[in-house]
Amino acid sequence: MNELVPLSDGEFEQQRPKPVGYHLLVALPQVNETYDGTEIQKTPTERHNETIMSIVGLVMDIGSTAYLDKERFPTGPWCKEGDYVLFRANSGTRFKIENVEYRLMNDDSIEAVVPDPRGITRA
């Protein structure tokens, strides 16, 4: 069986998709393995469900035509690279690189910019 060897920074950059058109690349936060303030372990299914139902992420990259439609975005972009953003659960195209989940999302899928995402959970 082959061992999984971590990617170097250069290899990661080669594998990371570059969003095209009106898409954004968003990284999802890593889910805690235990419940807050305890040592009680979450089940793998529970951690998986928390990840796929995430509503917050970090904008990693923005496609070249995102937010350029002046009719839809008269005040300009809703977010920029490096912003934490809120979006609907299950939005975008899901994929993983080295156990980090990413989403390719449409520019109009962003619902809010969040100054500090800590403590934000889905209700």
Domain boundaries, the chain: 30-114
pTM summary value:
0.81
| pLDDT tens digits, 2-35 | 454 555 666 767 788 999 999 999 998 877 777 7
| pLDDT tens digits, 47-70 | 777 777 889 999 999 999 999 999
DSSP letters spanning 8-67: PHHHHHHHSPPP-TTEEEEEPPPPPSB-TTS-PBPPHHHHHHHHHT--EEEEEEE-TTTT
- Half-sphere exposure of residue 91: CA atoms within 13 angstroms, side-chain side: 23
> CATH number of the domain at 30-114, please?
2.30.33.40
Task: Find where tokens 């990284």 sit.
Answer: 27
